[in-house]
Amino acid sequence: MAENGRGLVSPNPMVGAVVVCDNKIIGEGYHIAYGEPHAEVNAIASVKDQNMLQHSTLYVNLEPCSHHGKTPPCADLIIRKKIPRVVIGQQDPYLQVAGRGIGMLKAAGVDVVCGVLEDACRELNKRFICYHTQQRPYIILKWAQSADGFMDKKRIMGDGQLPVIFSDEFSRMRVHKLRAEEDAIMVGTRTALLDNPSLNVRYWSGKNPLRIAIDRQGEIPRKHKLRSTKDNTLIFTENKNMKSAPYVLLDSETNVLEQVLETIYQKKILSLIVEGGSKLLNSFINADLWDEANIEISPICLEDGILAPCIRGKRIMSDTRGKAAFDIYKNRYNTLKKYNY
């Protein structure tokens, strides 16, 4: 149920809640959109006979909040409604909550059970957890490659060569679904110049991600889609004369990726797709700044060209649709903090 909020609730987590009385579900709800009522509020409000709440158990995948944000604390509501038992999937990593909601409930005499299906709950909110424990967005590397390991032909500006098209209708839809679910998408200068990408959502329903380009010399022309369209865009550059699209001035003496990720973090961007070329992707891989790699492998062979990155991680999914294969890897070394209740 919580997954219904995917792509809509960031920078909040995805949360679903169910109210059970005498082994029957009497209420349910989820966090629908950022700024709107939380899952617990919607679940409690859906119970027709509010008197039954005093004999019920509330199940929720994330610790109820204990602070005043855009909405009042859910822990207060649970206590006020005299719900006697709450089952929680995982503790909230957000410092303003981080056990305080659980503490409030226990102090009020509520029977609290924590850590139920915790791994599944953590997987659901891996973006939110990464943001609050590692102070950076959850990073997804994404590329398509040939069967023999090349991303593209060797092209230069002005040679008239078009990029190799690996995608079919299904894989395009899959890519745009991913874009709709994540907060931001990034390319480098070469990809922006050669491909002139829109980086928006067209083959799936949902919001457009924030478009980010690393353009250190300020080479992307105003006529290119990243600078001429109205979709939200952020360009990182060392060129002080950049105009039009919002830009962030880079310090040439400081690590570029550190500056970029710190800026994105401050803007409350929970997840980032890196969809650039080999150079940009390898810069994230070499810095061990990635959490997932989403790779499409086409049956096409190029025999020569730009080599695709070499990824070392744990393959968690392999699927074949049509003639293409899709692999997803996780960085086995980037583990997210667990709690002892």
Same domain, 94 and 150: no
Same domain, 118 and 163: no
Same domain, 258 and 202: yes
Tell me the per-residue pLDDT of 199-240, one tens digit each, with 9 for 90 and over.
999 999 999 999 999 999 999 998 899 987 778 999 999 998
Same domain, 29 and 116: yes
Residue 85's CB is within 10 A of a number of other CB atoms, namely 15
What is the domain extent for residue 36? 2-124
* Contacts of 64 by beta carbon, 8 Å cutoff, 6+ apart: 38, 40, 73, 74, 75, 78, 86, 88, 101, 105
Tell me what percent of the residues of the chain surpass a pLDDT of 70. Answer: 96
Same domain, 107 and 181: no
Same domain, 253 and 150: yes
Tell me the per-residue pLDDT of 252-307, one tens digit each, with 9 for 90 and over.
889 999 999 999 999 999 999 999 899 999 999 999 999 999 999 999 999 999 99
Is 336 domain-assigned? no
Is 341 domain-assigned? no
Q: Domain total for the chain?
A: 2
Same domain, 197 and 104: no
Same domain, 158 and 74: no
Q: Where a domain ends, among 91, 124, 157?
A: 124
How far is Cα 207 from Cα 210, in angstroms, rounded to an integer? 9
Is 340 domain-assigned? no
Same domain, 215 and 265: yes
CATH at residue 190: 3.40.430.10
Is 208 domain-assigned? yes
For the chain, which ranges sit under pLDDT 50? 337, 339-341
Is 156 domain-assigned? yes
Q: Is the pTM value of this prediction over 0.85?
A: yes
Same domain, 158 and 107: no
Which are the catalytic amino acids?
Answer: 40
CATH at residue 73: 3.40.140.10
Instruction: Report the pLDDT value the prediction gives residue 199, as an integer from 0 to 100.
Output: 95
Take residue 43 and report the two structure tokens written for it. Answer: 């679940």
